[in-house]
A = this chain, B = another copy of it.
Amino acid sequence: MGRCTFRNLGLLQVIKGRCKIPVFVLIRPRGGDFRYSDLEIQVMRQDIQIFKAHKADGFVIGALSSTAIINFPRQLIVKYSTVRCMSIFLAAFDMCQDPFIAMETIICLGFERILTSGQESSVLEGAPLIRSLVEKAHNRIIIMPGGGINDRNLERILKETNAEEFHCSARSSKNSEMQYQKSSVYMGGVLRAPEFITKSTDAGMVQRMKEMLDKR
């Protein structure tokens, strides 16, 4: 607890001006897989440089080869090492062929943390692998579980994974406060993210989770 991640520069500035927790920026030029073209890597380099200049405390980043092996491009490493701030290897890790080999590579690359759901759809599903990674890491890198963690499963997850830190959005759904909601704009039988519901961090959930951590 005590870190936050996203990728909007205006938001970084507003947050840095209002609170003191370290802020990590997500460097991911598009959705989909983690195999990037040269131009996409150039965009990632620029983003690192800009966010660094605006006092980001670290980055969440990852890249793979087409055979799902960690492939952190040389030009990113250079840029990246000059940046010299804490960093997290992204969920790209969960797509890797061999997670133990991948972890060794990531340690060599100098990352401080690996963000992972244990190569499954949620941390609870991936808990056995996460526990093995924590053991094999032997304090050389922090294994940080993330994906589907909430205040109902946190205690089990900490116990089953032996992890010391974790990542979660602690969000709950809120209905929009719009009193006039036009329904015609998205008629039809398709499934969309609902326009008039947003998810935002739930202070009560954060509080309950903090207490679980403190109790340990």
Which residues of chain A have a CB within 8 Å of any CB of chain B?
7-11, 13-14, 29-33, 35, 39, 42-50, 64, 66-68, 94-97, 117, 119-122, 124-125, 128, 148, 150, 152-153, 156, 169, 172-173, 176-199
Contact = CB atoms under 8 A, between A and B. Distances in A.
Contacts of A184: 119-121, 152
Given A10-B43, A198-B31, A187 B121 contact: yes
Given A14-B39, A47-B8, A47-B10, A31 B94 contact: no
What is the copy number of this chain in the assembly? 4
> Which 3 pairs, one residue from A and one from B, show the smallest C-beta to C-beta distance?
A10-B46, A10-B47, A68-B180
Contact of A33 (B124, B128, B195): B195
13 contacts: A9-B9, A10-B46, A10-B49, A32-B196, A66-B178, A66-B179, A66-B180, A68-B179, A97-B180, A120-B184, A121-B187, A190-B190, A191-B191
Given A94-B185, A119-B184, A121-B187, A50 B198 contact: no
A150 to B, nearest CB: 6
A176 B33 contact: yes
Contacts of A187: 120-121, 125, 148, 150
B178 A14 contact: no
A186 B31 CA distance: 15
A5 to B, nearest CB: 14
A45 B10 contact: yes
Given A14-B43, A33-B176, A173-B183, A9 B197 contact: no
